[in-house]
């Protein structure tokens, strides 16, 4: 049975990726505590609705321990928070093969060099080359500057000082 406060609107919590489960759990528990406080819901009220002891609720919301998933979901429900799962976008490295990873690494090194030594137009273009654009470049395998500038996400006025070294990196790794 879902236990909620009928007079409270349901909130959603969005959590960025972290390296550890414990970090994520602490961030979620802290957010639940903040929402409960904002709504003036006491730990005793949460405990009564969840069927727990008040000390158990306090320990959980103060992140003194990480509750099991079903207990965490019950806490969220009682406070009036909906938990949603959304897929995390893949990193560029996860979408390409081993050669693609070599190319991305080389392009990033080149980008750092061009950022320091290149023209203002080169820096502007490099600032617009997102990971998605780099993956598009890898999949298109452009042979010429003109082809490079047609890749989705690459500015049409991309200077050859950016496109030509990247094309050479791709050709070198793939040959």
The CATH number that domain 11-82 falls under is: 1.10.260.40
Domain boundaries, the chain: 11-82, 92-174
The fold of 92-174 is: DNA polymerase; domain 1 (1.10.150)
Between the CA of residue 103 and those of 31, 45, 67, 70, what are the distances in Å?
40, 57, 43, 44
Residue 5 dihedral angles phi and psi, to the nearest 5°: -90, 115
Three state DSSP letters for 80-107 = CEECCCCCCCCCHHHHCCHHHHHHHHHH
Q: What is the pLDDT of residue 18?
A: 44
Q: What is the pLDDT of residue 78?
A: 94
Q: Could you list the pLDDT tens digit for every one of the 175 residues in the chain?
A: 334 444 555 444 454 554 567 788 888 899 999 999 999 999 999 999 999 999 999 999 998 888 888 998 999 999 999 887 776 666 655 656 777 777 777 877 877 777 777 778 777 777 777 777 777 777 777 778 888 778 777 877 788 888 888 888 777 776 6
Q: What is the pLDDT of residue 3?
A: 42
Of 55, 69, 58, the residue nearest 25 (C-alpha): 69
Burial of 4 (0-12, 13-18, 19+ CB in 10 A): middle
Q: What is the pLDDT of residue 22?
A: 78
Q: What is the pLDDT of residue 91?
A: 60
């Amino acid at each position: 049975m879902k236990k909620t406060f009928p007079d409270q609107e349901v909130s959603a919590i969005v959590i960025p990726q972290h390296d550890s489960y414990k970090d994520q759990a602490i961030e979620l528990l802290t957010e639940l505590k903040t929402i409960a406080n904002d709504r003036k819901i006491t730990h005793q009220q949460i405990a009564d609705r969840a069927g727990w002891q008040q000390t158990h609720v306090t320990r959980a919301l103060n992140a003194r321990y990480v509750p099991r998933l079903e207990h965490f979901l019950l806490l969220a429900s009682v406070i009036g928070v909906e938990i949603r799962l959304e897929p995390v976008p893949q990193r560029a490295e996860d979408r390409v093969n081993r050669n693609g990873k070599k190319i991305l690494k080389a392009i990033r090194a080149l980008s750092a060099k061009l950022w320091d030594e290149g023209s203002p137009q080169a820096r502007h273009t490099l600032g617009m080359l997102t990971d998605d654009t780099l993956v598009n470049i890898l999949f298109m395998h452009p042979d010429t500057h003109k082809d490079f500038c047609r890749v989705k996400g690459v500015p049409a006025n991309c200077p050859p000082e950016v496109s030509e070294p990247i094309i050479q990196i791709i050709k070198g790794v793939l040959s």
